[in-house]
Each structure stands twice: as C-alpha cells, then as structure tokens.
Structure 1
Amino acid sequence: MNHMVFEIGLAIGLIALAGMISTKLRFSVIPFYILIGMAVGPHAIKIWHFDFRFIESAPLIEFMGRIGVLFLLFYLGLEFSVGRLIKSGKSIAVGGSIYILINFTLGLLFGWLLGLPMAEILIVAGITTISSSAIVAKVLVDLRRTGNAETEMILGIIMFEDVFLAVYISIVSGLVLSSSSTIGGVALSALIALGFMLMVLVVGRKLVPFLNKALRVRSNELFMLIIFAGLFIVAGFSETLHVAEAIGALLVGLVLAETEHMKRIEHLILPFRDFFGAIFFFSFGLTIDPLALGGAVWMSLGAVVLTLIGNVAAGMWAGRSAGLSPKASLNIGLTIMARGEFSIIMANLAKAGGLLAIIQPFAALYVLILAILGPLLTKENKFIYRLLDKVFKFSASPRAKQQELSSSSES
C-alpha cells in the first residue's frame, strides 16, 4: 500500500511507452497496451532482482479500467443520437439476430466437435459469440469511422448482443452453478433488460428540452460533475438489471447527443476517454497468465478461425439486409471481430462452476489473439475487401458500384 502511487505512476509510464512504440510502428495501440500489461502483471515472471509485477495495485488499476470502458462507450454514444438508432431499429434487429445466430451456432458446433460436456459447450459458445464493446469503441474512434454508414449497424449489434447476454448468462449460470433458473425467470430478466434500454432512450429523448436548460452552467467543474454523476448513476444502475454497465454508458451518450451541449461534453470528456481507455486495455493484460496459455493453443486457434469465418459471413449478411454496400458490410464483420470483457466473464463463470480447467487459458488466449487481430484486420479493410472481391466478385453488380462510389469518401 505504501508504494501504490509509485506503482500507478510506473503503470502509466509503461502505457505511454507502449503508445510511443505503436505510433512509431504505425500499428493499433490496443495490442501493445495488453501485452505490456501481461509483461508486468501478477502472473509475470520475476527477472533477477527486479519485480515489476503489479500485485498490490492490480485491483485499483482494474477498477480504473472499468471506468475506461464507461468513457469509451459514453463517447461513442455522443457521436450518434437516439433518433438515428430508432430509424435503423428494424435493420438492427435483423442484423443482430443474424450475427448471434451465425456465431452462436458455430460456437456450439466447435464445442461439440471437441467432445466437450454440455456445460462446457455452452460456455465456449458464449465466449466465442459476444464482441468486446470497449475494443469496438476504441477502434471506431481511432480509425475515425464513427460517421460511416455501417457504424449504426455496429452499435445496434453491440446493444443487441447485450440483451442476448443478459438472457444467456441467466440460463448458463443456472445450469453451471446449479441454482434455480426457470423459463419465466429468464424471460423476465430479458424483458427487464430490454425494457430498461428502451425506457432510457425514449424518456431521455423526451427530457432533451429539460436537459438543455439544466446543463446551461458556466462552470466547467460543475458541468463535468453533473455529467459524470448522470453517467455513473445510470451505468451502475443498469448493471443491477443485468444490462452491462458499458451499455448503460452508451445509452447516456446517445441521449446527451440530442442536446445542444453535445460538443461541450465531447470536448471535456475526450482526455478522460483516452486516459482511462488506455488503462482498461493495460488492466486486461494484467489478468492474463502467459504460462497457462500453452495447453490451449490449438483450441484457441481453431476458435479464432471459426470466428473469422463467422464474423465475415454475419457482417456481409447483416449489412446486405440493411442495404449497405459489400465493403461496408465487410467492415461490420471486421470491426466487431474482437472479443474481450464479456468472454472473460463467461470463463470466470466456468471457473466458479468447477468446469474443465482448459476453459480459462482457452478464453484468455482466444481473447488475446482477437484483441490483436481484430483492430489490425479492421485497419486493413480495403486490402481484405480487394482479396475477397477477387473471389466473390462483390463489385460486379451495378448497385454495388454505385454504393462504393457514394461511400468511398467515408472509408
């Protein structure tokens, strides 16, 4: 405890170093944050007389990382509005259903082919189905794609996934932890989660005139306190209703995007988003034990290949169902490729239920690979599209050519 401030300072210095390296290499910064966290985490190897393991400060850094997720999703919500999402409601429901159907089915099939017991199959399917909201938000902001046509669908799928997650965790925890889990209880949990999300969006939009007046505050200090209070209260309360706190933060951002103060909020929140967001990925690295990953290499690589196929197929299908171009549709699948915090939650559930020990290292390595691969593939979307176009001839149709011309400036 005496060295807590020093350890936090050293952690921030290492995060800054990782950022400098990624800038020099012109590569996504996310993998560097995660890898540097692994190198100095509680599971890292002590080198000679030097012990850089953040054993004492890891819980505090983890909490700061949770705050980072809130700021990342809150900022992403500010880039949009409730109105834009409502207009795309039908296509988002269709796209989200397609995405869950393909990836969840592949996850079940993968677990079955490995010969795992039923409980482990359900856990593996959960691990491989849900995207990382934090990584998706970071990638969209870093690559400046928040204004792209497909980003509404990406946001919608993230929210759709959260409703699915609320239902799925209710079912799986009941099976794995041997607690009572009735059909009525699961349905009620799903309805509460969905009802809360809709209520925040609808009521929030009605309150926009009131929020415009209430936020006319000269003092930046008081203005930030009001915004932060609303953000943390709604995000924290949402978790009690089985809605991820990150989605609660996204909802707050979507509502405040409708107000006349959106630009001021965006300007003030930017430093917090960048600082705490970086700490989140570093804290994620702290949780990974490099020495435990070896036994799950082939299992993880197999799951990664299936996820690549499933995401591209789901993105193309969901995008085309919404009338998006093949290139924009491919962007959907690539952008939500990364797995993260939700996959780790499923792995921890397996550990609590005493399931096979391979689940933990499998989840860690699978998430690590996709956390690195996802942002890289998203950045190189044009190259990947050209490769796939040679095989599938996406750009052959007149409609596709017209869409590509109209969206070329956005990409």
Structure 2
Amino acid sequence: MDHLVLEVGLAIALIAAAGLISSKLRFSVVPFYILIGMAVGPHAPHFWHLDFRFIHSEPLIEFMGRIGVLFLLFYLGLEFSVGRLVKSGRSIAIGGSIYIGINFTLGILFGLAAGLPFMEMLVVAGITTISSSAIVAKVLVDLKRTANPETEMILGIIMFEDVFLAVYLSILSGLVLSGSTSLAGILSSAGIALGFMLALLIIGRKAVPLLNRALNIRSNELFALVVFAGLFLVAGLSETVHVAEAIGALLFGLIIAETEHMKRVEHLILPFRDFFGALFFFGFGLTIDPLALGGAVWLSLGAVLLTLVGNFVAGMLAGRTAKLSPKASANIGLTIVSRGEFSIIVANIGKAGGLLAILQPFAALYVLILAILGPLLTKESKLIFKLLNKVLPLDRRERRKSPQPPG
C-alpha cells in the first residue's frame, strides 16, 4: 500500500503513452490499453528490479474501470432516447433472438467438436455468445457512429444480451455450482430482469417533466452531484436485480436523453468517460496472465473464426429484419464481435465449479484476440463489406456501382 499513489500515477502515464502511440498509428486505442495492462500486470514476468507490477493498485484500478464502463454506457444512452428504441422494439427482439440463437448454437457445436464434456460445453457457449458492451460503446463513440441507423439495433442487441445473460447465469450457476437448477428460479430471474428494464424505461419517460425541474440547477457542482447520484443509484439498483450495472447506466442515459438538460449532461460526462474508460481497458489487461495462454491457442483461434462468421451472418439477418441496408447490417455484426467482461464472468463460474482448467486460458486468449480484432474490424467495416461484396451477393446495387475491369 506504500506505493499505491505511485502505482496509479504510473498506470495513468502508461495509459497516456499507449494513447499517444495509437494516435500516431491511427489505430483504435482499446488494444493498446489492454496490451500495456498485460505487460505490467501482476501476472507479468518479473522484468524490473522494483517490481512495480500494479499488485497493490489492481483492485483500485479495477473499481475505477467499473466506473468507466458506467460512464461509457451512460454516454451512449445519451445519444439516443427511449422513444427511438421503443419504436424499434419488435425488430430489436427479433434481431436479438437471431444473434443469440446463432452464436449460442455455434458455441455448443464448437464445444461438441472439441470433445468437451457437457458442462464445459455450456461454459464455452456462454463465453462465445455475449459481446462486450464496454468495448462496443467505446468503439461507437470513438468512430462517431452513434447517429448511424444500425446503432439502434446494436444497442437493442446489447440490452437483449443482458436479459439472456441473467437467465443463462442462473442456469449455469445452478448446474455447475450446485448441480441442479429450478425452472421457477430461471423464469423468476428472467422476469425480474426484463420487468426492471421495462419499468425503468416507462417510469423514466413519464418522469421527464419532473427530471427537467429537478435538474434545473445553476451550480455546476450540485448539478454534477445530482446526475452522478442518479447514475450510480440506478446502476447499483440494476445489479441487485441481476441486470448488469452497465445496462442500468445505459437505461439511465436513455431517460436523461429525453430531458432538456441532455446537452449539459453530455458536456459534463465527457472527461469522466474518457479517463475512467481508459482505466477499464488497462485494468482488463491487468487480469490476463500472458504466461497461461499458450495451451489454448488452437482452441481459441477456432472459436474466434467461428465467432467472426456467426456474428457476420447474425448481423446481416438482424439488419434485414429491421429493413436496414446490407452495408448497415454488416456493420452490426462487425461492431458487436468484441468479447470482454461478460465472457470472463462465465469462465469464472466454470473455474469455481472445478471444471477443466483449459477454460480459463481459453477465455482469456479468446477475449484478448477479439478485444483487439473487434475495434479494427469495426473501423474497417466499409472496406471489409466492399471486399466481401465482390465475392458474395451481399448488395447487388453496390456491385453495380463498382467499376468493372476493362474487357
């Protein structure tokens, strides 16, 4: 604890250096934050004499990272409104079901092909199904795609995934940790999660006039305290009913977006979003043990390949149900391909249940690859779609626009 402030200062300096490097290379900053965290984390080799490997500060950095996720999702919610999502409710439900159905089925089939036992197969399917809301939010904001037509579907799938996660974690925990599970308990978890999300959106929308009056505060200090209190209370309350705290933050952002103070809140949140968000990805890197990844290379690469294909197909189908263009539909699958915090949670259940040790390094390497690859694929989604459209009949109109080679 003697070096806690110094460790945090070093962490911020390293994060800043990673940001400068990514800016020079014009590459997404997320992979740099994760890799620098891995390089200096408590699992890294003892490569310097003073051994500043962020051992003492890791819990604090992890907590600040959790705050970063809240700010990232809250800001993303501010870019939308409850009304816009309600109008897209049916297509979001269908698109979310398609996305979960395809990715979960592929995860089960992958586990079966790898010869894993039944319990391990369920864990692998969970790891490969749920995308990272933090990375998706960061990429959408960085690439200024929050106004894109497909982003409504992306947000809807993120929330749909959370309902699925609440149900799935109930089932998985019951099977792996206690050896049994209750149908009533599963239905109850699903009902509470879905009911809480719907109730919060409905009540929040009705309470907009009240919020307009409550946020009519001249003092910037008091205004910030009121907004932050609301954000943390809603996120914390969400967690108590088995809805991810990040989804609670997203829902609160959707509600505040309906008020006349949205622009002021957005301006207030920006520096907190960037600072704490960077700490989240650095802290995520700290949790990965680079020395334990070697044994799961081929298993992880196979899962990554399957996820890329499954995500692209799911995005195209989900986009079609929402009547989006093929290019926008491709953006859906390429944007939500990143895996992160939720996959690690599922893997930890397997570890707690004494399942095969390969699950931990598999999850870490799989998440690391897609956390690095996801932002790159999102950034280059137009080029990827153009290349694929030359081979596959994705959009005939785009193919006709392309210049034909001289005959």
> TM > 0.5 between the two?
yes
Specify the code of the residue in structure 1 equivalent to 2:194: L
- Specify the alignment match of 1:175 in structure 2: 175
- Specify the alignment match of 1:116 in structure 2: 116
Specify the code of the residue in structure 2 equivalent to 1:113: A
Q: CA deviation at 1:289?
A: 0.1
Q: Whole-Å Cα distance in 2 between the matches of residues 178 and 124 of structure 1? A: 19
Q: CA deviation at 1:334?
A: 0.3
Specify the code of the residue in structure 2 equivalent to 1:29: V
Q: CA deviation at 1:49?
A: 1.7
Q: Whole-Å Cα distance in 2 between the matches of residues 396 and 124 of structure 1? A: 37
- Specify the alignment match of 1:155 in structure 2: 155
Specify the code of the residue in structure 2 equivalent to 1:158: I
Specify the code of the residue in structure 2 equivalent to 1:207: A
- Specify the alignment match of 1:46 in structure 2: 46
Q: Secondary structure at the match of 2:178?
A: coil
- Specify the alignment match of 1:327 in structure 2: 327
**Map of 1:7-18 to 2, 5 A cutoff?**
7-18=7-18
- Specify the alignment match of 2:218 in structure 1: 218
Name the CA shift for 1:246/1:48 in 2 (closer, same or farther; >3 Å).
Answer: closer
Q: Secondary structure at the match of 1:47?
A: coil
Q: Whole-Å Cα distance in 2 between the matches of residues 9 and 25 of structure 1? A: 25
- Specify the alignment match of 1:83 in structure 2: 83
2:300 is equivalent to residue 287 of structure 1: no
Name the CA shift for 1:48/1:274 in 2 (closer, same or farther; >3 Å).
Answer: closer
Q: CA deviation at 1:48?
A: 4.4
State TM-score, norm by structure 2.
0.97
- Specify the alignment match of 2:391 in structure 1: 391
- Specify the alignment match of 1:409 in structure 2: none
Q: Whole-Å Cα distance in 2 between the matches of residues 296 and 370 of structure 1? A: 15
Name the CA shift for 1:326/1:125 in 2 (closer, same or farther; >3 Å).
Answer: same
**Map of 1:23-172 to 2, 5 A cutoff?**
23-172=23-172
Q: Secondary structure at the match of 1:269?
A: helix
2:5 is equivalent to residue 5 of structure 1: yes
Name the CA shift for 1:207/1:2 in 2 (closer, same or farther; >3 Å).
Answer: same
Which deviations, in whole Å up to 9, do the C-alpha atoms of 1:263-322 show, x marking residues without a partner?
000000000000000000000000000000000000000000000000000000000111
Q: Whole-Å Cα distance in 1 between the matches of residues 273 and 151 of structure 2? A: 19
Q: CA deviation at 1:391?
A: 1.4
Name the Cα RMSD after superposition. 1.3
Structure 1 spans left out of the alignment, 5+ residues? 405-411
Q: Whole-Å Cα distance in 2 between the matches of residues 15 and 283 of structure 1? A: 10
Instruction: Tell me the matched-pair count.
Output: 402
Q: Whole-Å Cα distance in 2 between the matches of residues 144 and 327 of structure 1? A: 17
Deviating runs (4+, > 2 A) in structure 1?
none
- Specify the alignment match of 2:278 in structure 1: 278
Which deviations, in whole Å up to 9, do the C-alpha atoms of 1:343-399 show, x marking residues without a partner?
00001111110100000000000000000000000000111011111112333159x
Which deviations, in whole Å up to 9, do the C-alpha atoms of 1:100-143 show, x marking residues without a partner?
00000000000011111111000000000000000000000000
Q: Whole-Å Cα distance in 2 between the matches of residues 4 and 212 of structure 1? A: 41
Percent identical among aligned pairs is 77
Q: Whole-Å Cα distance in 2 between the matches of residues 62 and 85 of structure 1? A: 31
Specify the code of the residue in structure 1 equivalent to 2:119: A
